[in-house]
């Protein structure tokens, strides 16, 4: 009866059948080593699961942000945007950032230059080391006026996007406009494969 209870108990500790079968022949120190090894393995699994859970929660918050932006439409506000460097598949740091934290991925659309589109990476701090990278926009020195909204870009044909809606909204409000900067949120289906961005259009009062 005691042997059966021991097997059930050790299984509840996530020990393998092989380890459990070996325990009766172990000395006290060996049992302690086996338990310590499994404790470390479980701690590693917990850390990995916690990291995965945090990523899931972050992704859900991005989905919620998309839905919020769709509900609020366009919004005039003052904001402070970070610097952005050009994304390059040959830049290892850019690739690592894209994989580890895709929400630092960005897009820059210049309506005044035939809707030129460039992809970039937001830089976390002003004291950035560009190396061989190209700066797309400097960090805002102070809060600026923006028209904020949801930017939708066709993943297969980036020229197909709703940047024009930002310009029309700004014009209808009497604002002049500049570059459109977007922070990547999610890729999903909207009748086509759509990249969603939280986007800010530079605006100023024409008056």
Q: 53 with 113, same domain?
A: no
Over the stretch 158-206, which tens digit does the pLDDT of each residue have?
999 999 999 999 999 999 999 999 999 999 999 999 999 999 999 999 8
85 in Cβ contact with 75 (< 8 Å): no
- Does the residue 63 lie in any domain? no
pLDDT at 131 over 90: no
pTM attached to this predicted model: 0.82
Q: 121 with 93, same domain?
A: yes
Per-position DSSP letters for 170-192, written without gaps between them: HHHTTEEEEEEEEEEEEEEESSS
Q: 94 with 191, same domain?
A: yes
**Domain boundaries, position 7:** 2-57
Q: 102 with 184, same domain?
A: yes
pLDDT of residue 148: 98
Q: 43 with 111, same domain?
A: no
Q: 128 with 187, same domain?
A: yes
- Does the residue 194 lie in any domain? yes
- Does the residue 62 lie in any domain? no
- Does the residue 66 lie in any domain? no
- Does the residue 197 lie in any domain? yes
- Does the residue 69 lie in any domain? no
Q: How many CB atoms lie within 10 A of CB 115?
A: 15
pLDDT of residue 152: 97
Q: 39 with 104, same domain?
A: no
Q: 46 with 85, same domain?
A: no
Instruction: List the single range of 19-33, 40-54, 60-74, 185-199 with lowest mean pLDDT.
Output: 19-33
Cβ burial, residue 2 (10 Å; 0-12/13-18/19+): exposed
- Does the residue 64 lie in any domain? no
Position with higher pLDDT, 166 vs 96: 166
CA distance 178 to 162: 15
pLDDT of residue 69: 96
Reference 197, options 71, 69, 86; nearest CA is 69
Q: 124 with 194, same domain?
A: yes
Q: 88 with 158, same domain?
A: yes
CA distance 67 to 90: 34
What phi and psi values does residue 162 have, to the nearest 5 degrees?
-105, 30
Q: What is the dihedral of CA 100, 102, 104, 107, to 10 degrees?
A: 150
Q: 40 with 122, same domain?
A: no
Sheet holding 144-154, edge to edge: 75-79, 144-154, 193-205, 175-189, 105-110, 116-122, 84-86, 135-137
pLDDT at 2 over 50: no
CA distance 33 to 86: 51
CATH code for position 158: 3.20.80
Reference 177, options 201, 158, 152; nearest CA is 201
CA distance 97 to 88: 11
Domain count within the chain: 2
CA distance 168 to 21: 73
């Amino acid at each position: 009866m005691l042997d059966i209870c021991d097997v059930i108990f050790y299984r509840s500790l996530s020990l393998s059948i092989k380890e459990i079968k070996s325990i009766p022949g172990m000395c006290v120190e060996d049992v302690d080593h086996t338990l310590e090894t499994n404790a470390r393995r479980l701690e590693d699994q917990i850390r990995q699961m916690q990291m995965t859970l945090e990523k899931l929660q972050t992704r859900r918050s991005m989905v919620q942000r998309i839905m919020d932006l769709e509900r609020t439409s366009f919004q005039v506000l003052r904001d402070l945007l970070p610097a952005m460097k050009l994304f390059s598949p040959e830049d290892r740091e850019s690739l690592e950032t894209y994989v580890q934290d895709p929400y630092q991925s960005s897009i820059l659309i210049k309506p005044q230059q035939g809707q030129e589109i460039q992809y970039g990476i937001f830089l976390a701090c002003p004291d950035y080391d560009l190396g061989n990278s190209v700066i797309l926009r400097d960090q805002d020195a102070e809060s600026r006026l923006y028209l904020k909204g949801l930017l939708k870009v066709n993943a297969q044909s980036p020229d197909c996007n709703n940047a024009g809606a930002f310009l029309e909204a700004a014009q209808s409000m009497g604002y002049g406009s500049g570059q459109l900067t977007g922070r990547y949120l999610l890729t999903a289906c909207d009748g086509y494969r759509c990249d969603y961005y939280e986007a800010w259009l530079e605006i100023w009062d024409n008056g």
